[in-house]
C-alpha cells in the first residue's frame, strides 16, 4: 500500500510540469494563429519619420523575418507600410479599417473615440508647435517674443506687413504658413491660440509639417507653427520665438508652461495582434524612445 502511494506521488509530480509545458505550447500556438506578417500605419506626417526610424531599428542586424524578433513567430517576412496624410486620415483609416494602426499628433476627442470600437492609444512622446521664422527675419533683431494677441493678428490677417507688428520692421508682406486647416496640427493651433478668431483666407496651407518648415526656410518674411521636432531637425534654419514670454524648450513643454503642445499617438481599434504588439512594445522600449528623442521630439519614457 505504501509503495502504491509513493508511485502515485511520483506520477503526479511528473504530470504537473508536463501540464505546464502543454499550457505554454498552447499560448505559442494562439500567438501564431492570430499572427499577421504585415502591419499598416496611416496618418500624421509628423509621425511618419518617427515610425520609419523605429522600423529601421526594429529590422536591423538582418531581422527581416518575424521569427528573428520572436522564436515563437513564423518564418515570414516583416512588412511594415506607412502612409502619410495627416492626423484626420489616421483616425479615418482606423474607423474605416483601411490601416491597422493610426498615427495621430493631437488629442483624440471623446466623439472620435466613440466611433472606434474598443479604442486603444499608445503615446510615443510629446511635440509642440513653435512660432518659427527664417533666421534672416529682421524681427529677431527687435524681439524674440510674440504675444498671443500679436500672433492672432498675424494669422488672422489684421497685420498684413511686418511693420504692422513693429514700426521699425520692413514694410514687407507677412507670409503666413499653416498646415491644412482641417488637419490635426491646425486644430491644436486653433484651440490653444486662435480660439474663436479665424485664420485669414489666403494663408499658405502646407501639405505636411516638413513642407511647412521648408516654406519658412525659403522665405525670410515667412512665419508658421513649425513642429518642435522639425525645428530640432533643422537647427539654424528655423528660429522659434517665445510665446507670451515662454520659450518652447523641453522643460517648459514638459511642465506645461508652453501651451501649444500635442501628444504623439498610435491608435488602434481593439487589442494589438502579436506582430503589432511586438512593434509597439519596441517603440516604447528604451531603443524606440531614443529614436523619438533623436528626431527632436520629447520621448514618453
Q: Determine the number of helices (DSSP H) and then strands (DSSP E) in the chain.
A: 13, 11
**Whole-prediction pTM value?**
0.86
CA angle 135, 210, 38 (to 5 degrees): 155
pLDDT 10s digits, 84-99 = 989 999 999 999 999 9
pLDDT the model gives residue 182? 84
Q: Residue for cell digits 512594445?
A: 281
Mean pLDDT of 131-148: 97
* pLDDT at residue 269 greater than cutoff 90: yes
From residue 216, alpha-carbon distances to 17, 23, 226 in Å are 66, 59, 9
Burial (CB count within 10 angstroms: exposed 0-12, middle 13-18, buried 19+), residue 273: middle
Predicted local confidence at residue 81, as pLDDT: 98
> Residue 53 phi/psi, 5° resolution?
-65, -40
Decide if pLDDT at 221 tops 70: yes
What would the mean pLDDT of 151-165 be, rounded to a whole number?
98
Mean pLDDT of the chain: 91
Q: What pLDDT, on the 0 to 100 scale, is given for residue 16?
A: 41
pLDDT (mean) for 157-172 = 97
Are residues 134 and 239 in contact, defined by beta-carbon separation less than 8 angstroms?
A: yes
| pLDDT value of position 21 | 36
Pairwise CA distance, residues 160 & 78, whole Å: 52
What is the per-residue pLDDT across 43-65, written as a single tens digit (0 to 9) for each? Answer: 999 999 999 999 999 999 999 99
% of residues, the chain, pLDDT over 70 = 89
Nearest Cα residue to 96 out of 107, 105, 85: 85
Average pLDDT over residues 264-277: 97
| 163 exposure class (CB count in 10 Å sphere: 0-12, 13-18, 19+) | middle
Quote the crossing angle between the two packed helices 286-294 and 48-58, to the nearest 10°.
Answer: 140
When pLDDT is cut at 50, 70 and 90, the band that residue 31 belongs to is low
The cell for 243 is: 510665446
Say whether pLDDT at 1 is over 80.
no
Cell of 202: 489666403
What is the grid cell recorded at 217? Answer: 526656410
Which three three-digit cell numbers place residue 90?
489616421
Amino acid at each position: 500500500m505504501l509503495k502504491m502511494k509513493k508511485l502515485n506521488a511520483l506520477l503526479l509530480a511528473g504530470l504537473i510540469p508536463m501540464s505546464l509545458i502543454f499550457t505554454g505550447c498552447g499560448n505559442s500556438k494562439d500567438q501564431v494563429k492570430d499572427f499577421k506578417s504585415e502591419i499598416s500605419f496611416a496618418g500624421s506626417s509628423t509621425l511618419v519619420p518617427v515610425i520609419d526610424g523605429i522600423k529601421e531599428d526594429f529590422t536591423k542586424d538582418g531581422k527581416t523575418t518575424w521569427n528573428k524578433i520572436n522564436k515563437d513567430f513564423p518564418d515570414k517576412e516583416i512588412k511594415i507600410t506607412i502612409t502619410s496624410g495627416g492626423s484626420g486620415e489616421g483616425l479615418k483609416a482606423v474607423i474605416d479599417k483601411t490601416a491597422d494602426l493610426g498615427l495621430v499628433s493631437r488629442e483624440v476627442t471623446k466623439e472620435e473615440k466613440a466611433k472606434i470600437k474598443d479604442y486603444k492609444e499608445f503615446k510615443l512622446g510629446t511635440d509642440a508647435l513653435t512660432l518659427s521664422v527664417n533666421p534672416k527675419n529682421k524681427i529677431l533683431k527687435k524681439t524674440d517674443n510674440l504675444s498671443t494677441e500679436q500672433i492672432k493678428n498675424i494669422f488672422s490677417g489684421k497685420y498684413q506687413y511686418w511693420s504692422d507688428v513693429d514700426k521699425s520692421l520692413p514694410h514687407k508682406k507677412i507670409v503666413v504658413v499653416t498646415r491644412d486647416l482641417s488637419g490635426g496640427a491646425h486644430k491644436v493651433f486653433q484651440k490653444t491660440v486662435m480660439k474663436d478668431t479665424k485664420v485669414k483666407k489666403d494663408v499658405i496651407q502646407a501639405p505636411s509639417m516638413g513642407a511647412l518648415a521648408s516654406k519658412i526656410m525659403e522665405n525670410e518674411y515667412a512665419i508658421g507653427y513649425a513642429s518642435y521636432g522639425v525645428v530640432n531637425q533643422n537647427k539654424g534654419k528655423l528660429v522659434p520665438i517665445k510665446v507670451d514670454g515662454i520659450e518652447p524648450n523641453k522643460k517648459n513643454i514638459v511642465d506645461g508652461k508652453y501651451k501649444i503642445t500635442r501628444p504623439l499617438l498610435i491608435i488602434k481599434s481593439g487589442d494589438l495582434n502579436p506582430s503589432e504588439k511586438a512593434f509597439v512594445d519596441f517603440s516604447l522600449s528604451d531603443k524606440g524612445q531614443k529614436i523619438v528623442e533623436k528626431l527632436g521630439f520629447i520621448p514618453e519614457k
